[in-house]
């Protein structure tokens, strides 16, 4: 596996592959890799001739009070994992390479970013949209792979790609979970042993709500209220627990009538966890 640290190196290698007629898949990450990231890499490997994975902790998607400085960074193990998954090129730029002096542009997707995490993490999704736009233009892949755990992010990227006419296919990959249901996340490393024991309640409550409203579509309010109570009793501080449209994130307050998902963000100790599940 090759490693590129500047944009020129990234483009040079991709140019070689393009001349050979090979397709390119991109897997953007912030490092601290786990099996969820490997699922993205394997999906790209199955569909594309060449696979590029980026490792970049994007400062523009962290608020001043968030965990930018403490976010786990472990380049050597991450590179080993990418190589084992068949990644051909790792792009590991510095902050100055992505945001050089004088950088003054923000990519903002209105509407989709006003709710859920967008309503609770000011500027976060603008930071995501900005860095992903740059990565897409730097690498010009045929397809780019995102996990459905960050479902709102996935919809934001689909919208910006459509709006800006960026010729790339967006692929959502199902959430990878531990055996007890906890969605894999780099931030799970923050959990204490006791918090890790409690954490699977998040997925359990989501699944129970999704199952209940699939059977009784008009039970939205009652099921969400029950879910909040159960999470609080388990020790979570609930930021949001909502049912929204799976394609538009339109709110569902009374009855599920279209493809929908149940979304949650909650804090367990000092760790913010997010998750979502489809309503069958």
Residue-by-residue DSSP string for 73-120: --HHHHHHHHHHTT-SEEE---HHHHS-TT-------TTTTSSTHHHH
Q: What are phi and psi of 101, to 5 degrees?
A: -50, 135
Instruction: Check which CATH number belongs to the domain holding 207 and give it.
Output: 3.30.1300.10
Q: Which of 120, 141, 173 delimits the end of a domain?
A: 173
Q: Which of 117, 144, 173 delimits the end of a domain?
A: 173
Q: Is residue 49 part of a domain?
A: yes
Q: Is residue 167 part of a domain?
A: yes
Cα 109 from Cα 120, distance rounded (Å): 16
| Same domain membership, residue 168 and residue 39 | yes
Number of domains observed in the structure of the chain: 2
pLDDT of 65? 86
Going by DSSP bridges, is the β-strand pair 260-268/237-245 parallel, antiparallel, or unpaired?
antiparallel
pLDDT of 174? 98
- Print the domain residue range for 169: 2-173
| Same domain membership, residue 224 and residue 163 | no
Which residues belong to the active site?
37
Query: Nearest Cα to 64, choosing from 12, 22, 122, 126?
Result: 122
| Same domain membership, residue 93 and residue 134 | yes
| Same domain membership, residue 168 and residue 91 | yes
- Mean pLDDT, range 62-73, rounded to an integer: 93
| Same domain membership, residue 245 and residue 119 | no
Cβ distance 125 to 118 under 8 Å? yes
Query: Nearest Cα to 4, choosing from 45, 39, 55, 44?
Result: 55
The model carries a pTM of: 0.96
Q: Is residue 178 part of a domain?
A: no
Q: Is residue 20 part of a domain?
A: yes
- Mean pLDDT, range 32-48, rounded to an integer: 98
Burial of 219 (0-12, 13-18, 19+ CB in 10 A): middle
| Same domain membership, residue 159 and residue 238 | no
| Same domain membership, residue 190 and residue 169 | no
| Same domain membership, residue 241 and residue 144 | no
pLDDT of 202? 98
What is residue 279's three-state secondary structure?
Answer: strand
| Same domain membership, residue 260 and residue 162 | no
Instruction: Quote the Cα angle for 58-63-68, to 5°.
Output: 50
Q: Is residue 180 part of a domain?
A: no
| Same domain membership, residue 19 and residue 154 | yes
Question: What are the tens digits of pLDDT across the range 231-251?
Answer: 999 999 999 999 999 999 999
| Same domain membership, residue 132 and residue 253 | no
Q: Is residue 218 part of a domain?
A: yes
Cα 163 from Cα 113, distance rounded (Å): 15
Residue partners of 52: CB distance under 8 A and separation at least 6: 10, 14, 24, 25, 26, 27, 87, 88, 89, 90, 91, 139, 141
Q: Which of 120, 139, 173 delimits the end of a domain?
A: 173
Instruction: Check which CATH number belongs to the domain holding 94 and give it.
Output: 3.40.50.620
Residue partners of 65: CB distance under 8 A and separation at least 6: none
Question: What are the tens digits of pLDDT across the range 79-127?
Answer: 999 999 999 999 999 999 999 999 999 999 999 999 999 999 999 999 9
DSSP 186: G
| Same domain membership, residue 48 and residue 114 | yes
Q: Is residue 200 part of a domain?
A: yes
What mean pLDDT, rounded, does the chain reach?
A: 97
Q: Is residue 199 part of a domain?
A: yes
């Amino acid at each position: 596996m090759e490693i590129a640290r500047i944009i020129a190196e990234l483009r040079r290698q991709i140019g070689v592959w393009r001349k050979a007629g090979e397709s390119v898949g991109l897997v953007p990450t912030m490092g601290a890799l786990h099996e969820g990231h490997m699922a993205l890499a394997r999906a790209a490997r199955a569909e594309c001739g060449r696979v590029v994975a980026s490792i970049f902790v994007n400062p523009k998607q962290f608020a001043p009070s968030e965990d930018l400085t403490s976010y786990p960074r472990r380049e050597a193990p991450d590179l080993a994992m990418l190589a084992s998954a068949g990644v051909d090129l790792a792009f590991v730029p510095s902050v100055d390479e992505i945001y050089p002096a004088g950088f003054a542009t923000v990519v903002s997707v209105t509407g989709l970013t006003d709710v859920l995490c967008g309503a609770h993490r000011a500027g976060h999704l603008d930071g995501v949209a900005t860095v992903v736009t740059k990565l897409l233009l730097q690498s010009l892949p045929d397809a780019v792979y995102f996990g459905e755990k960050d479902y709102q992010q996935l919809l934001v990227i689909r919208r910006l790609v459509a709006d800006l006419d960026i010729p790339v296919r967006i692929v959502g990959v199902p959430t990878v979970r531990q055996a007890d249901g906890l969605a894999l996340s780099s931030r799970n490393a923050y959990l204490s042993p006791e918090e890790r024991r409690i954490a699977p309640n998040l997925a359990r409550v989501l699944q129970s709500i999704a199952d209940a409203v699939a059977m009784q579509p008009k039970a939205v309010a009652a099921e969400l209220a029950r879910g909040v109570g159960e999470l609080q009793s388990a020790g979570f501080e609930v930021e949001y627990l909502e049912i929204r449209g799976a394609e538009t994130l339109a709110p569902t307050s009374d009855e599920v009538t279209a493809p929908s998902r149940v979304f949650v963000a909650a804090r367990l100790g000092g760790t913010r966890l997010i998750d979502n599940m489809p309503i069958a």
